[in-house]
Amino acid sequence: MSEALIRLEGISKSFGRVRANSNVSLEIVGGRVLALLGENGAGKSTLMSILAGQLRPDSGTVSARGRVLQLTSPEEAIAAGIGMVYQHFKLVEAMTVAENVFLGHRQMLINRRRIEAEVKALASQFGMSVKPSAVIRDLSMGERQQVEILKLLYRRSEVLIFDEPTAVLTPAEAENLFATMRLMLAQGKGIVFISHKLEEVMSVADDIAILRRGEIVDTVPVIEVSSTAELAERMVGRKVLLEVEKKPVEIRQQVLSLHGLGCGERGDGVSFELRQGEILGIVGVAGNGQKELVETVCGLCKPHSGTVRIFGREWGEFFRTAADDPDNTLAWIAEDRQGLATCPSLDLLDNFLLTTRRSFSGGPGKLFLFREEARKRAEYLLKTFDVRPPDLSAAAWQLSGGNLQKMVLAREFYRKPRLIVAEQPTQGLDISAMEEVWKLLLKAREAAGILLVTGDLAEALTLSDRIGVMFDGRLLACFPVEDTVSLAAVPQMMAGICKKSATV
Amino acid sequence: MNFDILIPLLAATVLSGTPVLYATLGEIITEKSGVLNLGVEGVMMLGAFSAFFVAAATGSPWLAFVVAGVVGMLVVSLHGVVCLWFQGNQVVSGLALTLLGSGLANYLGTPYVGTKAPGFSAVALPGLSRIPALGEIFFNHDPLVYLSYLLPPILWFFFHRTGIGLGLRAVGENPAAARAAGLNVQRLRWLGILAGGFFMGLGGACLSLAYTHLWTSSLSGGRGWIAVALVIFAFWRPGRAVFGAWLFGGVMALQLRLQASGAHVSSSLLLMLPYALTVIVLVFSSARRKSNAAPAALGVNVEPGE
């Protein structure tokens, strides 16, 4: 094994009473991919922010080839050859690719043509296709990521940190990324790869470091790991039921039917039916009309073509009368947990009342809100749904993603919905929280029809009774989850390769 | 309308548009760095007064001109302290600056109302001023006007062809990205605020040194606010700012001529014309443009260590 490019020794970092990292030691070796694996809140982001110069450690050292580095700003990390591809891209949308790549250079004058030529040469050297003169806001997510990578290559970074790089990519774009990574490895660069996706880690990484509660619990070469299940077990420290038990449920009356609903610019629209007792999983790469589908079904925007019937009633009629009809409730588990599902700075009781306020109102014209009654109810729900901390006066932003999601589920299920729209319900959650949310959704399907919109195929396969694939505003296929032939074609369909017509 | 009237009118257009042009360019620099400074009016007033004061005391208009720019920088540094050090509200701080600047300039200037000071006078540019019509319109002015011709291309070059200009735009568009790229966001925003204040101060100096040569109460007369509006009209582009400033200057010159010709219209209504027209043009030009040209992080404060 060659010498380490970067060595972290005894890194500790606390935020108030919370220990984000304690005594972490790692080596990043040239020509190898080190995968950093851990649940949410295990301290991966903190550790990498320290490496990227965004945070300062309380103790411990970072050294490069035996020389101790003082990483007090991103500038110094960059100068030391450490670069980070952030999960949320740090690009100036109004500027061109070349300008973004050049940003931060100490050069006085800009020779536009020369920089564009350099960027172009660099891109083709590493198998990337992005055009140097293109403006960022016109680019796809995959292309934007290429720009982030080009920024680092242009600065001759030796160590590249990828924070969940495939989260926003199509399978084909992800393959491209991996090819680019291999070219970088061949040049002796070191790569740190942060991901939740176990299969991906298994296929890309050379070494795997597992973080749990801020500590490195395990560092193993990937050849010594036998399966993703073993990896998951090492990660959470106990066996995880990645397979949740799914009891058959009696399918009852129809709760939602779409006919030719236009989702996005093109396509002949989306048609399907959903019945009480089943989960329909809509999969696809983000941005293929899922947002439009969800927003229309949930009443945020009018169906711009086709018809939507909810509980047998026409779309407009349903949303006019929805408030006065407690027996036919639609619940929405929004993807944007801290923006649409909750108000981040309000406390949990207020957030609980956001959608349940009608059941706690009374007096003339339901003018008054019975907060005490709501408090009792909400306290009980927080306990049964195991939301931590079970404290109604905590603000929503103080909760971790998993706890906030459980709070949202507690609130929505309290309304006894018969139709649930769950949008990316486990995005950003750790495995144990994910498992809890899955179990709750499976239980809820006994009384409701669930439209599950997710980018995570494993989630759709685990939960759904039927699977629908969306691409470019169309439902390419819709089939029972037992249909293994169609299932095998899902990745191609997600990339729009197989143009199978919808069979409802 | 014959040329004997039109050409002096167009020449007056350029002359009266120049102070607004300086101020507009100043505000463009500041806003490009992501800081909204609504204190332009106050900064112009203090720039105008300090220029007048220095010119009267020393007799040197050039010294007075530079001092006005420096005073502009000092005044806007208050805005920098509030917005960059203490993360204060940029709108409130800017409004306070306008009230403070206008009030202070009027107070200090009270003894000088109606007095004159040496200023700049028109210098015909050899050669260029001989061009028929154009020479009279563009090349028979005071040096401050000629200087204002050079500024838009220089600023364009600064924004698009220098590393610092690129950095300044980046902190106005996406401070987090700029920081990740290793740029010092606070320092670049200080640059935006101070350079902007310098030009606003120069705009004020144009008023007292070139446009009027004398001191009156409320000399700026709302031109600072016009500058704020013209930034939007110009889509934050220095080149377009020239047309906005000259449009305002043109209507200003026209209404003065109408007043002088004894038109039977209330002078208050005529005085209102340039302001009203600028606002109307602003509304129409903004409505036509769908994509937003404003710096994405305009008015958004950034924590120093964030």
Which CATH number is A265's domain given? 3.40.50.300
The domain boundary residue, chosen from A415, A440, A465? A415
Range of the domain at A141: 4-236
Q: Which residues contact B66 (CB under 8 A, 6 or more apart)?
A: none
Comparing C-alpha atoms, which of A158, A95, A97 is closest to residue A129?
A97
Asked whether residue A364 is domain-assigned, the answer is: yes
Asked whether residue B125 is domain-assigned, the answer is: no
Measured from the Cβ of residue A211, the count of other Cβ atoms closer than 10 Å reads: 24
- Are residues A143 and A71 part of one domain? yes
Q: Does A86 touch chain B (CB under 8 A)?
A: yes
- Are residues A479 and A468 part of one domain? yes
pLDDT number for residue A502:
42
Single-letter code of the amino acid located at A391: D
Give the C-alpha separation, B139 to B145, whole Å: 9
What beta strand segments (E) does A311-400 contain? Answer: 313-314, 330-333, 361-362, 368-369
* Residue B253 host element (H or E): helix B238-260
A102 contacts B174? CB cut-off 8 A? no
Asked whether residue A391 is domain-assigned, the answer is: yes
Number of domains in chain A: 3
- Are residues A41 and A63 part of one domain? yes
Number of domains in chain B: 1
**Residues of B with CB below 8 A from A109's CB?**
161-163
The domain boundary residue, chosen from A170, A203, A236? A236
Q: Does A352 touch chain B (CB under 8 A)?
A: no
pLDDT number for residue B292:
65
A84 contacts B181? CB cut-off 8 A? no
pLDDT number for residue A265:
65
Q: Is the pLDDT of residue A394 over 60?
A: yes
Nearest CB to A95 within list B162, B173, B176: B173
Query: Where residue A33 falls among pLDDT bands split at 50, 70, 90?
Result: very high
pLDDT number for residue B68:
97
- Are residues A272 and A215 part of one domain? no
- Are residues A352 and A405 part of one domain? yes
How many angstroms separate the CA of residue A55 from the nearest CA in chain B?
9
B residues 159-178 lying closer than 8 A (beta carbon) to A: 160-164, 166-167, 169-170, 173-174, 176-178
**Which chain A residue has its CA at the smallest distance from B180's CA?**
A74
Range of the domain at B257: 3-112+133-288
Asked whether residue A270 is domain-assigned, the answer is: yes
What stretches in chain B show pLDDT beneath 70? 1, 288-292, 304-306
- Are residues A425 and A307 part of one domain? yes
Comparing C-alpha atoms, which of B191, B217, B197 is closest to residue B40?
B197
Asked whether residue A358 is domain-assigned, the answer is: yes
Comparing C-alpha atoms, which of A325, A261, A335 is closest to residue A296?
A261
Asked whether residue A335 is domain-assigned, the answer is: no
Q: Which residues contact A45 (CB under 8 A, 6 or more apart)?
A: A163, A194
Asked whether residue A241 is domain-assigned, the answer is: no
Single-letter code of the amino acid located at B222: G
- Are residues A105 and A30 part of one domain? yes
CATH label of the domain that carries residue B7: 1.10.3470.10
pLDDT number for residue A324:
77
- Are residues A165 and A220 part of one domain? yes
The domain boundary residue, chosen from A236, A269, A300? A236
ipTM tops 0.85: no
Query: Where residue A501 falls among pLDDT bands split at 50, 70, 90?
Result: very low
- In angstroms, what CA-CA distances link A12 with A74, A121, A236? 19, 40, 21
Comparing C-alpha atoms, which of A344, A296, A288 is closest to residue A318?
A296
**Residues of A with CB below 8 A from B162's CB?**
108-110
Give the C-alpha separation, A332 to A36, whole Å: 34
What beta strand segments (E) does A348-411 contain? Answer: 361-362, 368-369
- Are residues A294 and A188 part of one domain? no
pLDDT digits (tens, 9 = 90+) for B276-296: 888 888 788 777 665 568 898
Q: Does A110 touch chain B (CB under 8 A)?
A: yes
Comparing C-alpha atoms, which of A282, A263, A255, A277 is closest to residue A453?
A282
**Residues of B with CB below 8 A from A89's CB?**
177
Please give the model's pTM, rounded to 2 decimal places.
Answer: 0.74
Give the C-alpha separation, A58 to A21, whole Å: 9
- Are residues A425 and A409 part of one domain? no
- Are residues A204 and A256 part of one domain? no
Residue A285 or A44, more confident: A44
A103 contacts B177? CB cut-off 8 A? yes
pLDDT number for residue A339:
82
- Are residues A214 and A260 part of one domain? no
